[in-house]
Structure 1
Amino acid sequence: MKTILKHIQGDRAIWAIVAVLAICSFMPVYSASTNLVYVVGTGGSTFGYLLKHMMLLLMGFAIIYGVHKIPYRYFSGGSLLMLPIVIVLLIFTLSQGTTIGGANASRWIRIPFVGIGFQTSTLAGLVLMVYVARYLAKNKEKVISLKESLLTLWLPIAVVLMLILPANFSTTAIIFVMILMLCFVGGYPTKHLGLILGIGVIALVFFILIAKAFPDAMPNRVQTWQSRIENFSDEDGKDAYQVEKAKIAIATGGLVGVGPGKSVQKNFLPQSTSDFIFAIIAEEYGLIGSVFILFIYFLLLFRIFIVVKKTKTIFGSLLVVGVGIPIIFQACINMAVATNLFPVTGQTLPLISSGGTSIWMTCFALGMILSVSASKEETEEDILEDNPLDILHETV
C-alpha cells in the first residue's frame, strides 16, 4: 500500500472519493444490466456487462494517473492544440449520423478496432472549459472588451456549440451555462455576459426556426426537445413513461431499499444502467443509499473548493473550477431527472453510470484537478506563455 501511495500525488481525499464512487457503481450496474440481457435482448451476460464496466473504470483510473502526472501548465497550450481537432471530430460525427439501436445517434463515433462508441461532445466541452480558463487568466490584468473577446473567445465557443447543438441540445446548454459560470468567476464583465446570453438565446431560436422550416435536414431533433419539455408535465410519451417508472422505483425503495439486485423497475426502465441508474440505487438501497451518493458528490465539490483555495495561480484555480464544477452539475441534473425535478436530458451519473465516454472524460477532468493540487510552485507567466509547439516537442 505504501508503494502505491508513494506514486499517487495530489489531493488524497479526491482519490478516495473517486474510488468510493467506482466501488458504489459495481452492484447497481450489475443489477440493472439484467434489463439489457433479458428484456432488451442485447446478448451477453450480466457478469459480462459488469466486467466491461470494471474495465472502463480501470482505464479511467489509468487516465487519472497519467494525467495527474502532467504539469498542469501544459493543459493551457494543449487546449489551443485540441480545439481545431475537436472541431474536425464534431464535423465528422455530425456528418456520419451513426444509428445505435435504431435511434439517431449522430453524437457518437465508433473507435476502430475497439468497438466502443465515443461521444465527441463530451471531449469538446472539456477542451472548451480549459480554453476559456486560459483566456480569462491571460487577460486577468486588463479590461476585457466585448469586440476583442468576440473573435478570440466567443467565436471558437460558438463554432463548437453549433456543431454539438443539432445532435445534443442538453449537452450544448450545459456547456454554455458552465462557460458563463466560469466567465463570471473569472472576472469577465457581467454586462457583456448578459449580452452574450441574449445572443445565445436568439441563435437557439433561429436554429429552431431553420430546423422547423427544413425538417429533413435534422429529422426529429427539435421534435425531441419539444416532446421532452411537454412530457415533463404530461403523463403520456416515452420520457414520461421512464420518469414514471423511476418514481415508482424511488417510492418502492423507502428508507433502506429492497436490497441489492432485487429491483423490479430495472426491467422496465430503458436506460436503467445509465440515465436512470440513480432510480435503481434508490430502489435497492433506499433513501440511505441515495443520500450517501449525494453526500459523496458534495464532498467532491468541497474538495474541489479546497484545491481552488490552495492553488497559487489564476489559471490553476479557473481550470479546477472549469472542469470540476460540471461534474457536480451533471450529477445533480441526473438525479433531478430521476426524481422528476428536471426534464429528461440524457446526462449520465458521473463514475457510476455505465458508458466509456462519460467515465473517461470525467477521469480526465479529475486528473487535471489532481495535477493542479499536486503542482509545485508555478508562475502565471510560465503557464500562459507555453507554446503549443513546445508541448509537442517535449512530448515527442
Structure 2
Amino acid sequence: MAGPSRVDSSALSRWWRNTDRVTLACVGLLIGLGYVLMLAASPSVAARIGASRNMFILKQIIFLLLAGGIVLVVSSLSRNTIKKLAFVGGIIALGATAMTLVHGMEIKGARRWISLPLMSVQPSEFLKPCFAVVTGWLLSARRTVVLKGNIAFPGMLLAFASFAAILVLLKSQPDIGMLSVITMVFMTQLFVDGLRLYWVGLCVASMVGAFGAAYIVFPHVRSRVQRFLHPDVGDHYQIDTALRAFGNGGLLGRGPGEGRVKDLLPDAHADFVFAVAGEEYGLLLCVGIILIFGTIVIRTLLKLMREDDPFVIISASGLVTGFGLQAFVNMGSTLHLIPTKGMTLPFISYGGSSAMSVALTMGMVLALTRHHVGQGKVSQRVAQSYKPGSLLERHPQ
C-alpha cells in the first residue's frame, strides 16, 4: 500500500515521510512474532498452573496492542516533548521503584513488582528509557547551558547523582541484572560523550569490582555464576532442557505446536521463549530474530553518525544500547553463553511491563532519529566545545 503523497502536509504524512520505516517495520515484525510464539508457548504453561489455556494469550494480545500504540504515538512526538516525557516518566518510575521496597510483591526473594488489579508492574523497566534520555540531556546541556554568574551547568554531576540513586534502589531490591544493563547504558553514553580512555578503563575496572562484590554479597548471583562456570555444580535442568530444544528443532523446527520444551519449563513463555522458537521453528527463525534485533541496533547507530545534535546522539545511543543488551541477555542466557538471568526478549516474551517499556524505548528512538527540518544542526560553538577524540566531534563541512 502506498504511503501518503509528498504534497500532503498533514501531521500523519510528515510523520510517515520522516520516520525510519525500516526500523518501524522491524518493530512490527517483533510484535507479530510475539503473538505467534505466545500462541505456541503459553497454553501449556497456563494449563500447568491450573489457569485457562488462553489466559496468557489474551493478556499478551492486550499488552502488544498497547505496545504498538505506544510506539506509534511516542514516535510522533517532538524532541522537546520526548525530553519532558522522560523527565516526568523518570520521576514517576523512580518513585514507584522506591515504593517496591515497602509495598512491593516479594517473588523469589526480590521486591521488584507492584501489584495492580489486572497486572503486576515492574517500575524499574521504565527507568531504562527515561534514564537514557534524561542523561543524554544532562550530558549535552553541560556544554550549552550557562547558569547565573557564568557558571557551567553541572550536567555530569547530576547524571552521576541520578545513576547513584538508581544504583541504591536496584541494589536494595535486589535486581543485579537490571542494574547491570542500566550501568552499561550509562557507560556507553559517557563514552559517546567523549570520556577519556583512562576514565573508560577506570569505569570498566569499577564494573568488574562491582560484579565481584555482587558475587560475594548475593547468594543467587554466586549460584548462577558457579553453575555457568562449573557444569557439575547445582541444578542445570532449565538450561539443559533449553539446549536440547534447540537440538530437537534443527534447521527448520519440529513444526508449530510440536515442541516439548513448553511442557517442561515453567518460564517457557517468558525467559525461555527463544528456546520455544528454536524447537518449533528451527534455526532459521532464530537467526531471523537475531537479524531483526541487529538491524534495529545497527541502523540506529548508522543514523546517529549523520546526526549533529548531541542530545539526540547521546540519548539514542543509550536507548538502543539498553534495547540490544536486553535482547542479548535473554538469548545469551538461553543458549548458555552467559549466566542465566531472568530478562525478557523484547516484544516476544510475555509481560506487560516489558512490552510497554520496550515500546516506549523504540518510540523514543524513532522520534529522536526522525528527520526534523531545521533541527539536528548544532551551532559551531557547541560543536567545537567537544574535546578531540569525542564521538560527538564533527569535522567542518
Deviations 1:244-294 (A, max 9, x none): 110010110011110011111111112101111111100011111111111
Q: 1:78: how far off?
A: 4.3
Q: 1:198: how far off?
A: 4.5
Alignment of 1:361 onto 2:367 = no
Give the AA of the match of 2:79: Y
Q: CA RMSD in A?
A: 2.7
1:106 alignment partner, SS class: strand
Of 87, 91, 101, which aligns to 2:98?
91
Once residues 277 and 150 of structure 1 are traced to their aligned partners in structure 2, the CA distance between those partners, rounded to angstroms, is 39
2:111 alignment partner, SS class: coil
Once residues 137 and 65 of structure 1 are traced to their aligned partners in structure 2, the CA distance between those partners, rounded to angstroms, is 27
Of 158, 164, 167, which aligns to 1:161?
167
Give the AA of the match of 1:104: G
Which residue in 2 is equivalent to 1:190? 197
Distance 1:326 1:339, change over 3 A: same
Q: 1:335: how far off?
A: 1.0
Gaps of 5+ in 2: 5-11, 146-153, 380-397
1:120-269 correspondence to structure 2 within 5 Å: 120-140=123-143, 151-166=157-172, 167-199=174-206, 222-232=218-228, 233-235=230-232, 237-238=234-235, 240-269=236-265
Alignment of 1:44 onto 2:52 = yes
Once residues 131 and 336 of structure 1 are traced to their aligned partners in structure 2, the CA distance between those partners, rounded to angstroms, is 29
Deviations 1:101-142 (A, max 9, x none): xx334111123x4x2111111111222211221122223589
Of 42, 58, 61, which aligns to 1:54?
61
Residues 142 and 155, structure 2, Cα contact 8 Å, conserved in 1: no
Once residues 94 and 270 of structure 2 are traced to their aligned partners in structure 1, the CA distance between those partners, rounded to angstroms, is 27
Residues 324 and 369, structure 1, Cα contact 8 Å, conserved in 2: yes
2:121 alignment partner, SS class: strand
1:379-394 correspondence to structure 2 within 5 Å: none
Which residue in 2 is equivalent to 1:32? 41
Q: 1:347: how far off?
A: 1.2
Q: 1:97: how far off?
A: 3.8
Of 109, 115, 123, which aligns to 1:110?
115
Once residues 60 and 298 of structure 2 are traced to their aligned partners in structure 1, the CA distance between those partners, rounded to angstroms, is 27
Give the AA of the match of 2:250: G
Higher alpha-carbon deviation: 80-89 or 368-377: 80-89
Sequence identity percentage: 26
Q: 1:304: how far off?
A: 0.9
Once residues 201 and 150 of structure 1 are traced to their aligned partners in structure 2, the CA distance between those partners, rounded to angstroms, is 22
Alignment of 1:305 onto 2:314 = no
Once residues 57 and 306 of structure 1 are traced to their aligned partners in structure 2, the CA distance between those partners, rounded to angstroms, is 28
Distance 1:84 1:380, change over 3 A: farther
Deviations 1:183-229 (A, max 9, x none): 111212333344445555556666777xx5xxxxxxxxx11111111
Gaps of 5+ in 1: 143-147, 213-221, 383-396
1:344 alignment partner, SS class: coil
Residues 136 and 188, structure 1, Cα contact 8 Å, conserved in 2: no
Residues 133 and 319, structure 2, Cα contact 8 Å, conserved in 1: yes
TM-score w.r.t. the length of structure 1 is 0.83
